Amino acid sequence: MPTCQIGGVIMFGKYIYEKTYASNTSRMLFIDEDGLDEQTHYTDEFEHRGFQILHYKDDLSFRIEWEDKFKSGQDKYLILAEPKVYIPYDVLKACGSYKFHISLMNLFPHLQIQCIREKADLNFDLLCMAYKSLYDDCRTYDKTKDFIDDVVYGKDNVREYVNQRIKDVSVLAEKTQNYKNWIKVAEAKSEIDVFCAAYEIDADAEFVQEPFLRFILESFGKLSGKITSDRETPVLVKGAMDYMYNHSDKFVIIVMDGMSEFDWTILSRSFGDIKYERSAAFAMIPTITSLSRQSLVSGKYPRQLFSPWSTSKEGKEFTDCAMSFGLRKEQVEYHRGYDADFGPTIRCGCVIINDIDDMVHGQQQGRSGMYRDVEYLSSMGKLATLVRNLLSKGFDVYISADHGNTPCIGQGKLMKLGVETETKSHRMLVLEKFADKEKMKKQYDMIEYPKYFLDKQYDYLICNIGKSFDAKGDKVMTHGGITVDEVIVPFIKIKAVDNNG
């Protein structure tokens, strides 16, 4: 039974919003009995509707920070409290009848709650869609299990959900003008693509690619100004090293070469009780390993790299970056493979894993083939085992990628022109200045990339959406271009303190 749980669960949030009559008030109190907001972020829906979310810790903190605004302000407030926390009478009175215990039992009274709790990766959006049509009493364990397996994750319910998500993504993609919303689009698209691959549903969200391409060509060069101002993400993979050093005393970055949001959505199933935060970052463009992976581990823009078209200097780039933070060489290690092990003196480590990229370049069955291959990799649990080992040694662990991957159809292999730099990419060309780029753009339907963060002595041509320099008519998975799936990659944060309790 495939599962996906993307941050900001849309339908579950709306379900709670409607059940609590939130449109009729400006003051609410929720007792989050089952920790559902941490799991699903359902309060995002309330924020979207204009509520400020106040996380209630104790009476004194609340009065210092919020009392005046809460009692006399014009804004809308939702207080979110844990069970058994003392709530003073005046706060209860201000919320009136809009005090709710948010629990699985109250939200789904016709189901057996323990069965729901055991479904660690349960998609609450799918559950809400199916539950609205449930009229039977399923309050036994077996009946609830059958309902989840056969109805919640039944193909009809999943298809309806996918169609609704496609509509949501379409609206967001057409109006979004900032990188944060494009990250939301990428995560939602990955969920759609995973369900379509798993259930063989003939649908997709490829319509996002054109507006995303426009965003990149117009705005990608401006993202460098966002690197230090975002607390959730390094924004560009170039900012990852600074971000990790500023947020962790002792850390390891695992670079899953070629891992897209689609791939992470599947891989993360093996993480079980590992607590992590999901965000994302933009790969460097062109989305090839030598440029983007080296930028990730070195903290440099591609134009600053020692050897931008080869990874031969990658280990040195990583070590030099770590030492620029003030670490000694003996506190830094660079490894390849799942057997990476770090001693007690290490403060900054890097692990390169090539499994996903190897699957991409050997893939002959498109995205459905990637689904099966990555699902098998997830079931082996090698990444989760590595993460647990590192957490047990006190490392914060970050997981990211240098680029993702996308399905393409070959338009014919490109013969050597004598004017291009060797990059091993089937999606882009790096041309010497004297090449006839206008002729090539027209002949091969290529996009001229504006050289953001790149060496200005070359010109950069990138294949249009869905096309590559592979054998004519061949369906391949590849990278190097400017699609949502290639550019926006996972950035996963796993804190030792959250997992070693």
pTM of the complete model: 0.92
Whole-number Å distance between alpha carbons of 21 and 299: 48
Whole-number Å distance between alpha carbons of 129 and 162: 11
Exposed e or buried b per residue across 231-253, where buried means at least 16 C-beta atoms within 10 angstroms of its C-beta: eebbbbbbbbbbbbbeebebbbb
Q: Which helix (H) or strand (E) holds 241?
A: helix 240-247
Q: Which two tokens stand for residue 302?
A: 């591609």
Name the pLDDT band for 364 (thresholds 50, 70, 90).
Answer: confident
Torsion of the alpha carbons at 385, 390, 396 and 401, rounded to the nearest 10: -50
Whole-number Å distance between alpha carbons of 327 and 439: 50
pLDDT of residue 416: 64
Is 176's pLDDT higher than 50?
Answer: yes
Give the Cβ contact number of residue 455 at 10 Å. Answer: 15
Q: Which two tokens stand for residue 39?
A: 């799991």
Please write the tens of the pLDDT for every residue from 23-65.
999 999 999 999 999 989 999 999 999 999 999 999 999 999 9
The residue assigned the tokens 């057997």 is 339
Please write the tens of the pLDDT for every residue from 445-497.
999 999 999 999 999 999 999 999 999 999 999 999 999 999 999 999 999 99
Q: Is 75 exposed, middle or buried (0-12, 13-18, 19+ CB in 10 A)?
A: exposed
Residue ranges and CATH numbers for the domains of the chain are 10-153 (no CATH), 224-405+485-499 (3.40.720.10), 407-478 (no CATH)
The residue assigned the tokens 């249009």 is 464
Name the pLDDT band for 7 (thresholds 50, 70, 90).
Answer: very low
The alpha-helical segments, DSSP class H, found in 326-365 are 355-362
pLDDT of residue 72: 81
The alpha-helical segments, DSSP class H, found in 248-288 are 261-267
Counting Cα atoms < 13 Å in the Cβ hemisphere of 6 gives: 24
Please write the tens of the pLDDT for every residue from 407-423.
999 999 887 654 455 55
Please write the tens of the pLDDT for every residue from 87-126.
999 999 999 999 999 999 999 999 999 999 999 889 999 9
Gyration radius of the chain over CA positions: 24
In sequence order, which residues have a C-beta less than 8 Å from that of residue 470 and are 6 or more positions away?
A: 408, 409, 410, 411, 413, 426, 476, 478
pLDDT of residue 436: 81
DSSP per-residue string spanning 149-192: IIIITSHHHHHHHHHHHHHHHHHHHHH--SHHHHHHHHHHHHHH
Query: Which of 364, 359, 479, 489 minimizes the C-alpha distance to 425?
Result: 479
pLDDT of residue 420: 52
* Mean pLDDT lowest among 3-12, 302-311, 378-387: 3-12
Phi-psi region of 483 (alpha: psi -120 to 50; beta: other; left: phi over 0): beta
Q: Calculate the average pLDDT of the chain.
A: 94
The alpha-helical segments, DSSP class H, found in 348-430 are 355-362, 366-380, 382-392
Give the percent of the chain with pLDDT over 70: 96
Please write the tens of the pLDDT for every residue from 264-278.
999 999 999 899 999
Please write the tens of the pLDDT for every residue from 429-449.
998 876 788 888 988 899 999
Query: Which of 459, 8, 3 minimizes the C-alpha distance to 278?
Result: 8
Whole-number Å distance between alpha carbons of 441 and 108: 57
Q: Is 280 exposed, middle or buried (0-12, 13-18, 19+ CB in 10 A)?
A: buried
